[in-house]
Amino acid sequence: MPIRVCASARKSLLMLLVLLLPASHAVAAPVSYKMDPEHTFPSFEADHMGVSIWRGKFDKTRGTMLLDRAAGTGSVDVVVDIASVNFGHEKMKEHALAKEFFDVEQYPTASYKGKLTDFVGGYPTRLVGDLTLHGVTRPVEMKIGLFKCIPHPMLKRELCGGDALAVFKRDEFKLDAGKAYGFNMDVTLRIQMEAIAAE
């Protein structure tokens, strides 16, 4: 037998739903974060003639992150200053920035834009997006091995940090120096970052 609901009860129920709807949206709203350049240093590892691994990092980075842990969504946008590459070896840096490799005059920045996915316990475990390097944009998927958010002890705002890892072929980005000499084109990329919630 169908249950009859009086008009006044229906009106009260409708008003309750209208009041609750904005609250549910407010809880799930994404939070905006700004990358902390003092604690964000993308780094990489690359083969040197099959006998050693060269490692470098970029000292100047900027970017933003959006995160909605309740909804399990988010995004990352990182921009790297190529001229800030640091191998701890000045001659290697000069060679890397020259036209034959990074060609920093024509391509002064690199970037990664991706979506945070596969949330476990409120935190992402994968980053799916595009790497733009040397004027080429290609999809690069990254595995997130660490991601955590805590209250910043001094700024009194939320601080989130993470460490993402991927391997890509540098010759797919027209960076094929040394290929004729047998250099392995695989590059291990790490994006280690910290981001602070916007005020």
Distance, CA of 164 to CA of 65 (rounded, Å): 14
Q: What is the pLDDT of residue 25?
A: 39
Class of domain 29-197: mainly beta
Q: What is the pLDDT of residue 11?
A: 52
* Ordered per-residue pLDDT tens for the chain, 199 residues: 444 545 554 554 444 444 444 443 344 589 999 999 999 999 999 999 889 999 999 999 999 999 999 999 999 999 999 999 999 999 999 999 999 999 999 999 999 999 999 999 999 999 999 999 999 999 999 999 999 999 999 988 999 999 999 999 999 999 999 999 999 999 999 999 999 999 7
Q: pLDDT tens for residues 152-173?
A: 999 889 999 999 999 999 999 9
Q: What is the pTM of this model?
A: 0.82
End-to-end CA distance of the chain: give it in Å, rounded.
55
SS3 content of the chain, % helix, strand, coil (to 5): 20, 50, 30
Collapse the DSSP code of 71 into the 3-class scheme (helix H, G, I; strand E, B; otherwise coil) and give the result.
coil
Q: What is the pLDDT of residue 29?
A: 84
Distance, CA of 99 to CA of 87 (rounded, Å): 18
Say if residues 137 and 130 touch (Cβ distance below 8 Å). Answer: yes
Q: What is the pLDDT of residue 8?
A: 55
Q: What is the pLDDT of residue 194?
A: 96
Distance, CA of 193 to CA of 162 (rounded, Å): 6
Q: What is the pLDDT of residue 4?
A: 54
Distance, CA of 108 to CA of 85 (rounded, Å): 11
